Amino acid sequence: MKKVRQILNIDSLHKNNIMGENVTVAVLDTGIYNHPDFGERIIKYKDFVNGKTAIYDDEGHGTHVTGILAGDGKMSNGFFKGIAPKSDIVSLKVLDKRGIGKEDNVISGIWWIIDNGKKYNIKVVNISFGTFNKEGNNKKLIEAVELLWDMGYVIIAAAGNNGPEYGTVSIPGSSKKIITVGALDDNIKMIVNGRITKNYSGRGPTKECVQKPDILAPANGIYSCSNGIKSGYSYVPKSGTSMATPIVSGVICMILGINKEMSNIQCKKLIRNTAIDLKMEGNRQGWGKINPEKMVNFCKK
């Protein structure tokens, strides 16, 4: 995370106390481990897989993602601090111990936010997973995600790791409404989903001929919180668009911490208008590399 913060100049924003305070983010994933880096900021946990009430993460993906987004780096003296370390966290377990999720569980998690989001001050929803099939027939999932967007939530989803061919963006990242994140640095071989690969970031266009992803963020070899099962209160590296997604979610938390009145559409336009054009194909980069510093400066005008 230190490297990510350097690439995006996040520490200069943190020095000005721009850390996502008073903003709650919901993370739909494998759950969360009660890592010290989250402090007392896990304000709600809900298990849609096994129905347990105790906080847990039996895979580790959700803990890692949440650490990138909102860990405060306590156990590393700030070295592995996340993007929005003062944001509150709602963790919704919709994926099992293999990191696999049933569509019904994911939709149940989305509906829980629809019913309870205001109660917990949820503004941002992070979805660091997706399903990929060429038929793209996950209509119910897309409809649920877009309903949540239409209610005003900022939804950020992964482009998936099925690239580099055209039309490989995962669902629900293929939704035209939400913000879809690709990997900035997937040109280097890394272990992603248990396989050594590169150029893996999902590419558009979608089935509906929408250009995706929308934005790129670092994705390779990112150290973040472990789930403690084998490694205690430590940190582990992971790679993929799952890791890029919470970076963007964290930036949005910081932005909403400055201006709570910004709508999801305004947030999306802000990402677009401040992105750094990398001169890649549109179906590879979207608008380009996320530019947190310029986004913050724009909000302060």
**Distances from the Cα of 1 to the Cα of 47, 68, 76, 229, angstroms:** 28, 7, 11, 21
Active site residue 61: yes
CA separation for the pair 223, 239 (Å, rounded): 9
88-93 and 154-158 beta bridge pairing: unpaired
Active-site residue, from 87, 175, 242, 249: 242
The residue type found at 254 is M
Which residue in the list 35, 61, 224, 239 is annotated as catalytic? 61
Distances in Å between the alpha carbon of 152 and those of 20, 207, 261?
18, 25, 11
Distance of alpha carbon 269 from alpha carbon 246, whole angstroms: 18
280, 199 Cβ separation under 8 angstroms? no
Query: Before 246, cis peptide (omega within 30)?
Result: no
Q: Is 186 a catalytic residue?
A: no
Q: Are 151 and 159 in contact (CB under 8 A)?
A: no
Alpha helices in 157-281 (DSSP H): 241-258, 264-274
Catalytic residues: 29, 61, 242
